[in-house]
Chains A and B, each alone.
Chain A
Amino acid sequence: MKGIFRTTVLIAILLAGITAALFLHPLMIRAADSDLPIYLEDSTILLKTQTVKGVLYLPLADIVKNLSLPYTNDTSQEAFTVRGSNSQVVMTRNSASISVNNQVTQLSSPVLHDNGTWLVPMEFLQLGLSRVTATEFRRRAGAPRVFAGGVKAAELTMISQTQAALTRLTLRTSTPVTLQLKRETAQHRAILVFAPKPVDPVRENLDFKDRLVQSINFNDSDGSPKVIVEVSDDVSDVRMLSADENRVHFVDFLRKTEATQAAPPQAAPGPAASAADPRRQDGASTTATPARTVSTSTTGTIGIRVIVIDPGHGGTDSGVSAMDGLEKDLTLAIARKLRTTLQSQLGATVLLTRDSDVPLTSEARAAVANNNRADLFVSLHIGYSANKSDLSSSVYVIQENFAAAELATKEKGQRLFLPWYLGYAKNRPLSMKVAGILSEELGKSLPGWTFPVRSGPVAVLASTTMPAILIEVGNLNNPASTQALLDAAFQTRFSATVAGAIERLSAPRQPDK
């Protein structure tokens, strides 16, 4: 009997221990403190956050003190009450239920009280505090900052791109901001400080790394919004240009050896450029047109300054295939050649939608061109015809009036925004002109090959807001054609012809109308 009693007691102690451990478990796992700013209309509060068991917690006392809200901290009842003008929120230790004006609201994580500090999960701001203060608290999912009430934050998007002798970081904000560039050479950093605050970045950091730039991170944990760029030893100079009435900022990191040869940034592009681009006639940016450092040629007559080349397919999507070649590899090889040729012949800024073997949606490809305000979009594809002897290639433009009728009948013109896949509409006539010239030049330069202009519901062209075409070259079902496409000399010749045609186009365009 004595033995059983002892075993029972041991088991009971063990169970109690496990229960206690489970109970205390959330309090044991803690991460280091970090700062989170809450932007109010006239001030900014900085809160020391704590991560407990993967949940972000805020110190409750600091919030109410900063907002000057009356509160009661009842240690005997283990309850904390915050009062507003005619409302109150009551929280109890280790309970996810909070009482808002005597109605129970459920938080996803419990309120904690530990060492005299009350901690509340982030959503307390929306579910509890907003009811007491009658102020809305907004937070982008996962972002370490909160905006209160009528605070208007400038939405920030960042794009970075490796170019010939420099790396360009483009910062685009929804409202005008001024940027101050601070160079910390010793720490290998460049800091871009925003004014006025607050700033609401779409993403906290840019997944980008090249020879010049190590990392690009947004940080406002001290209440002052800034972008911190870690640079390598190869950077000789950092230059900044503002455009579009301070809504766009270009930050160029120049490479050491070639910095002396790089053309200095020119603030005013030729008048032909702004007149030639129909998108800039809407009055949005006629006063401060972006100055693009590399794209201004010596003659000043170039209308095409940014070209986006889209190597078709990629990643799991190989496109069409032959025994010894895949479309995705061929398009990338040709696109790279075309980039080099265009950069040297036109001095244009040339961007690829993909520079590695990755899959992209049609929308993502069009977005690269739209976001970089490209003047021309060229999608490269390789053909495959069921007819083995077929040697025709094509230059595609989007179908005339594609989707327009469909939308017109359904919405009767009462449209506030242009649907994404109608982006092509304004520039279709120009696209036709581009296709015509490319078809002519390619036909001339490559004997035996034809490049008729065709139109179709091409997905990648539908949402581009600039002249856009798709070239489908060759037939991978034809051995001779495949052989030519795999031949580096043919690829060079093809890209030289395309570049030549674009050069012919880029003579000053007549403004439409």
Chain B
Amino acid sequence: MNTIPRHLKIGVVLIAIAGIISAGYFVGVVGRIRSMVREQETTSNPFVAPTAPLFSSADPPADVKIFFPPGSGMSILSAEHRTIFKSGELSNRVKQILQIVVDGPMTKEFLPAVPKDTKLQEVFISNDGVLFVDFSSALSVNHPGGMINEQATIYSIVDSILYNLPEIHQVKILIGGTEQETLAGHCLLLLPLEMDLSITSEEEGTHAN
């Protein structure tokens, strides 16, 4: 036993103490990270609004014209007659109309205007009647492209809203929560857009409501 020098013994003891301290610290850190992760899993995301129904059973139905690309003919968009429920909340009516646009036409006469997997994320209406509408990035990522196609997608959204809801004057489209220069390289989305019925088979001045 006496062959081991004293300083080596002291050194070993010191290393052992340091080892215990760092092991304890490590366990503590791991524990804290675990508890943080658990905390994040359990707390609900405060930024997601609770889902509420877009209309109640008492709301009267209303006829609307939703614009889709027609299966034939020269015009870029044509109107399909659909029904929404006249909720007192303007944003609920907006969401109902946009949901129809996203879900696509009922009849084979029309083609879908919005690429598949697109989700309506959020709408916001400013005091001066500008609707900000945010779609999931599928709107641009899954878009097949082409000027006419892009115009059809954009004005299916813009015209369907502005034709049926005169309270709204302009529509600004956001994608994935942010402003994008274009949808798929053609149409400028940096500015709010106004109704353009010249590309539809509809005549100007025949507004609903």
Contacts and interface: CB of A to CB of B under 8 A. Distances in A.
Interface of A: 1, 4, 312-313, 317, 319-320, 327, 361-362, 381-387, 389, 392, 394, 396, 399, 403, 405-406, 421, 452, 454-460, 462, 470, 472, 476
Contact of A405 (B69, B194, B196): B194
Interface string B140-162: 00001111110100100000000
A455 B74 CA distance: 14
Contacts of B181: 361-362, 459
Nearest to B194: A405
Contacts of A394: 147-148
Contact of A421 (B144, B170, B191): B191
Given A387-B71, A399-B196, A470 B185 contact: no
A457 B187 contact: yes
Contacts of B186: 381, 456, 458-460, 470
A457 B198 contact: no
A412 to B, nearest CB: 15
A457 B145 CA distance: 15
A327 B196 CA distance: 27
A386 B147 contact: no
B147 A458 contact: yes
Q: 6 closest Cβ contacts across the A-B interface?
A: A384-B146, A459-B188, A320-B145, A456-B151, A472-B147, A386-B111
Given A383-B146, A385-B148, 6 more contacts: A319-B185, A383-B147, A383-B148, A386-B144, A387-B111, A392-B74
B193 interface: yes
Interface string B54-95: 000000000000000101101010000000000000000000
Interface centre among A386, A406, A472 (most CB of B within 10 A): A386
Contacts of A362: 181-182, 185, 188
Nearest to B113: A386
A456 B77 CA distance: 13
B192 interface: yes
Interface residues of B, number: 31
B190 interface: yes
B199 interface: yes
Contacts of B146: 319-320, 381-385, 472, 476
A384 B112 CA distance: 14
B185 A457 contact: no
Contacts of A455: 198
B7 interface: yes
B111 to A, nearest CB: 5
A384 B196 CA distance: 21
A282 B198 CA distance: 34
Given A327-B145, A361-B181, A406-B170, A387 B69 contact: yes
Nearest to B112: A386
B104 to A, nearest CB: 11
28 contacts: A312-B185, A319-B145, A319-B146, A320-B144, A320-B145, A362-B181, A362-B182, A381-B146, A381-B147, A383-B148, A384-B145, A386-B69, A386-B144, A386-B149, A421-B188, A421-B190, A421-B191, A452-B74, A454-B151, A455-B198, A456-B151, A456-B186, A456-B187, A456-B196, A457-B187, A457-B188, A457-B193, A459-B187
A505 B171 CA distance: 37
Contacts of B149: 384-386
A237 B163 CA distance: 64
Nearest to A460: B186
Residue from B111, B146, B149, B191 having most chain A Cβ neighbours under 10 A: B146
A399 B187 CA distance: 11
- Of residues A361, A456, A472, which shows the largest number of chain B Cβ atoms within 10 Å of its Cβ? A456
Contacts of A361: 181
A336 to B, nearest CB: 20
B193 A472 contact: no
A404 B47 CA distance: 36
B191 A403 contact: yes
Contacts of B71: 387
Contact of B147 (A396, A405, A476): A396
Contacts of B144: 320, 384, 386
Contacts of A405: 194
Contacts of A383: 146-148
Interface in B189-206: 190-194, 196, 198-199
A321 to B, nearest CB: 8
A452 B74 CA distance: 9
Contact of B148 (A327, A389, A399, A472): A472
B191 A456 contact: no
A459 B191 contact: no
Contacts of A472: 146-148
A399 to B, nearest CB: 7
